[in-house]
């Protein structure tokens, strides 16, 4: 795929990423974009030598690069993937649509304000249309005004959903599990069946949930039930327990890693001191700050659901269990979850406010005319303009 740039056809071209040809150039380009402002803390992402890592686990994906032809330099890039998900409509039969996810849009600092970002989005949308996508969406922090303006003002996306990203640092001590709670690991097939029963009608529930649960990056699906319900435990889960909580854990550190740079020596010393005290006196259970100044990974919690009496205790116990799993992984220093603002799980998830995103904005755009459902008479715009569903399934491959 190759397309000329309308305003500067002589010096810029947008084309598909070619690994042998572009890998080193893209890594250099990403490094320039990650440099941040001097003297200010920044979160740097290391893609571990694989520019396609964030989309590779989708069966249909692409990366486009903007190349300065004369200088033979990569000056922009964007990634995209296509998946089949539910619209979250409560009907007898689930309504699935092909949805494109747009991510990783970046333009090198010297080449910004030239329309390159807009052109990359337009070219990616054309690829999505050719591959049958009905809609495209993107996600960004609500404070990222340049990104929001580009997508909403220049590319005609609509602000669609608002989610919260919750970050829990992994401390030097284990978290105590709540008494009276039993935690069991589920095999992927059983986990998929439970998710279809509990979250199958939520928005963005993936048609290929079994593929996700069988992926090597999925560290397991775990369910918590009250200990006094153990006598009635059905291993095949033909009938769901009256009270339970469930979640799955995705190992993102095998895909990419983070590193915080640009903090002051005083901040560095304070964080190191908190870890030392936590290690020497774990009985105090101090809220120590992990070493975010070296490369680290995170575990992403997904498929979060709870129901029944005492469900909050069950979910908190699962989160403590996930924390202790992460503590035994030397490179994992944080647990992350993303939930809809109306999701009851949000109120019980442990997190640090200063490390969490209060509002993650999802913007969406219709790419193709979607036929109305004969039974419901709902067209594509009904979904886009509808109020947010309380529960939104966040695909761990999107993170």
Q: How many CB atoms lie within 10 A of CB 104?
A: 19
- pLDDT band with cut points at 50, 70 and 90 for residue 11: confident
Residue 80 scores a pLDDT above 50: yes
Q: How far apart are CA 399 and CA 363, in angstroms?
A: 16
Residue 38 scores a pLDDT above 80: no
- pLDDT band with cut points at 50, 70 and 90 for residue 40: confident
Tens of pLDDT along 196-206? 999 998 999 99
- Mean pLDDT calculated for residue range 126-139: 96
- Mean pLDDT of all residues belonging to the chain: 89
Q: What percent of the chain has pLDDT over 70?
A: 91
- Which pLDDT score, from 0 to 100, does residue 231 have? 77
Residue 238 tokens, joined: 């033909």
The residue extents of the domains of the chain are 2-163+359-398, 167-357
Residue 327 scores a pLDDT above 70: yes
CB 338 within 8 A of CB 141: no
Tens of pLDDT along 244-255? 999 999 999 999
- Which pLDDT score, from 0 to 100, does residue 90 have? 61
Tens of pLDDT along 356-365? 877 899 999 9
- Which pLDDT score, from 0 to 100, does residue 380 have? 47
- Which pLDDT score, from 0 to 100, does residue 259 have? 92
- Mean pLDDT calculated for residue range 35-42: 65
- Which pLDDT score, from 0 to 100, does residue 275 have? 86
Residue 19 tokens, joined: 């690994």
Residue 317 scores a pLDDT above 70: yes
CB 13 within 8 A of CB 4: yes
- Which pLDDT score, from 0 to 100, does residue 262 have? 86
Tens of pLDDT along 252-275? 999 999 999 888 899 889 889 988
Q: How far apart are CA 14 and CA 125, in angstroms?
A: 13
Residue 371 scores a pLDDT above 70: no
Collapsing DSSP to helix, strand or coil, 130 comes out as: helix
Sequence-distant (6+) residues with CB within 8 A of 30 are 45, 47, 51, 77, 106
- pLDDT band with cut points at 50, 70 and 90 for residue 85: very high
Does domain 2-163+359-398 fall under CATH 3.40.50.2300? My reply is no
- Which pLDDT score, from 0 to 100, does residue 34 have? 75
- Mean pLDDT calculated for residue range 23-46: 80
Q: How far apart are CA 319 and CA 141, in angstroms?
A: 24
How many helices (H) and strands (E) would you count in the chain?
8, 15
The strand pairing partners of 78, in sequence order, are 64
Residue 148 tokens, joined: 């929001």
- Which pLDDT score, from 0 to 100, does residue 369 have? 62
- Which pLDDT score, from 0 to 100, does residue 199 have? 95
- Which pLDDT score, from 0 to 100, does residue 384 have? 83
DSSP collapsed to 3 states, 209-245? HHHHHHCCCEEEEEEEEEHHHHHHCCCCCCCCCCCEE
CATH number of 167-357: 3.40.630
Residue 374 scores a pLDDT above 70: no
Sequence-distant (6+) residues with CB within 8 A of 391 are 199, 202, 203, 305, 340, 342, 343
pTM, 2 dp: 0.91
- Which pLDDT score, from 0 to 100, does residue 99 have? 97
Residue 277 scores a pLDDT above 50: yes
Same fold, 2-163+359-398 and 167-357: yes
- pLDDT band with cut points at 50, 70 and 90 for residue 91: low
User: By C-alpha distance, which of 156, 182, 151, 162 is closest to 321?
Assistant: 182
Residue 346 tokens, joined: 């949000």
- Which pLDDT score, from 0 to 100, does residue 376 have? 43
């Amino acid at each position: 795929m190759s397309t000329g740039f309308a305003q500067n056809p002589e010096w810029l071209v947008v084309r598909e990423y070619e690994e042998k040809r572009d890998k080193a150039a893209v890594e250099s380009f990403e490094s320039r974009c990650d440099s941040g402002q001097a003297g200010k803390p920044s979160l740097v992402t290391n893609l571990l030598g694989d520019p396609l890592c964030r989309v590779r686990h989708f069966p249909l994906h692409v990366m486009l690069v903007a190349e300065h032809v004369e200088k033979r330099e990569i000056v922009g890039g964007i990634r995209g993937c296509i998946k089949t998900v539910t619209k979250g409509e409560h009907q007898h039969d689930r309504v699935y649509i092909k949805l494109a996810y747009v991510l990783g849009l970046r333009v090198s600092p010297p080449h910004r304000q030239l329309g390159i970002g807009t052109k990359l989005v337009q070219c990616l949308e054309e690829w999505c249309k050719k591959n049958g996508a009905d809609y495209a969406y993107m996600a960004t922090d609500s404070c990222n005004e340049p990104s929001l303006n580009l997508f909403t003002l220049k590319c005609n996306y609509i602000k669609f959903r608002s989610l919260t990203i919750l970050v829990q640092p992994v401390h030097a001590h284990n978290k105590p599990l709540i008494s009276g709670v039993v935690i069991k690991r589920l095999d992927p097939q059983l986990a998929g069946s439970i998710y279809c029963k509990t979250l199958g009608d939520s928005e963005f529930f993936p048609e290929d949930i079994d593929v996700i649960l069988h992926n090597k990056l999925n560290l397991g699906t775990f369910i918590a039930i009250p200990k006094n319900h153990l006598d009635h435990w059905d291993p095949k889960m033909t009938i769901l327990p009256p009270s339970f909580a469930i979640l799955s854990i995705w190992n993102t550190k095998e895909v990419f890693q983070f590193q915080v740079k640009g903090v002051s020596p005083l901040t560095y010393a304070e964080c190191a001191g908190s870890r030392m005290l936590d290690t020497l006196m774990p009985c105090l259970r101090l809220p120590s700050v992990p070493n975010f100044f070296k490369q680290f990974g995170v575990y992403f919690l997904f498929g979060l659901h709870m129901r029944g009496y005492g469900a909050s205790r069950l979910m908190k116990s699962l989160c403590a269990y996930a924390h202790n799993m992460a503590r035994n992984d030397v490179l994992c220093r944080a647990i992350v979850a993303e939930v809809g603002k109306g999701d009851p799980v949000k109120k019980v998830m442990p997190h640090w406010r200063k490390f969490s995103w209060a509002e993650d904005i999802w913007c969406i755009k219709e790419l193709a005319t979607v036929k109305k459902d004969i039974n419901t008479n709902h067209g594509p715009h009904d979904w886009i303009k509808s109020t947010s569903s309380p529960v939104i399934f966040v695909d761990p491959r999107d993170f």
